[in-house]
């Protein structure tokens, strides 16, 4: 009778362990009634020509949409919020953004967004987007350029 390969015996639990890890990684990390709000603060300017690789696939889109030569991610925050729960995101230059998921149907996400600079309300908006969708909010001056906020919801 052929002897079982001892390496095979050792490999089986290891394979099971990695499969378990893959399952954990693939499992949805958030409950369906919560929304993960991801906010990236990008400094757009004409100082240099570098584009931050952390901007991923939207690098080309930023370049095609705006006239700036340099895009640098200053900060990025991600928060999981339940419907009705407000999350506050600190932004550069004493600005802040408050996001509140609103009730929505299906794969849609509704977000109430408020951006303020101290006591000044710069923007109040309500957005309806798909999970995984993205919107840009730009314009507030920063150093010699502007801030562009990349807001996405999952």
**Binding stretches for another protein (CB under 8 A):** 10, 13-14, 17, 21, 24, 38, 40, 53-58, 61, 64-65, 76-80, 110, 115, 117, 120-141, 146, 150, 152
Sign of the C-alpha dihedral computed for residues 56, 57, 60 and 63 taken in this order: negative
> Of 137, 128, 32, which Cα lies nearest the Cα of 80?
32
Q: Which is nearer to another protein, 1 or 38 (CB)?
A: 38
CB of 5 to another protein, least distance (A): 14
Separation of alpha carbons 120 and 122, rounded Å: 6
Work out the number of other CB atoms within 10 angstroms of the CB of residue 109.
22
Tokens for 53?
């690789």
**Nearer of residues 1 and 23 to another protein, judged by Cβ:** 23
Give the position of tokens 């957005």.
Answer: 127
Choice between 48 and 68, CB closer to another protein? 68
Structure-token pair, residue 150 = 């990349």
Going by the DSSP 8-state scheme, the letter that residue 83 receives in this structure is T
Minimum Å gap between C-beta 86 and another protein is: 15
* Least distance CB 47 / another protein (angstroms): 16
Please report how close the Cβ of residue 88 comes to another protein at its closest, in angstroms.
11
């Amino acid at each position: 009778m052929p002897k079982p390969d001892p390496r095979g015996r050792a490999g089986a639990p290891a394979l099971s362990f990695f499969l378990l890890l893959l399952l954990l990684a693939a499992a949805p990390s958030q409950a369906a009634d919560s929304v993960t709000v991801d906010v990236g603060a990008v400094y757009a300017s004409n100082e240099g020509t570098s584009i931050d690789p952390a901007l991923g696939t939207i690098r080309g889109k930023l370049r095609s949409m705006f006239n700036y030569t340099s895009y640098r991610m200053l900060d990025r925050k991600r928060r999981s919020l339940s419907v009705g729960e407000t999350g506050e995101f600190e932004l550069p230059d004493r600005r802040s953004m408050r996001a509140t998921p609103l009730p929505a149907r299906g794969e849609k996400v509704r977000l109430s967004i408020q951006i303020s600079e101290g006591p000044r309300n710069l923007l109040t908006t309500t957005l309806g987007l798909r999970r995984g969708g993205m919107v840009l909010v730009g314009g507030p001056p920063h150093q010699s350029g502007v801030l562009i906020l990349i807001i996405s919801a999952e």
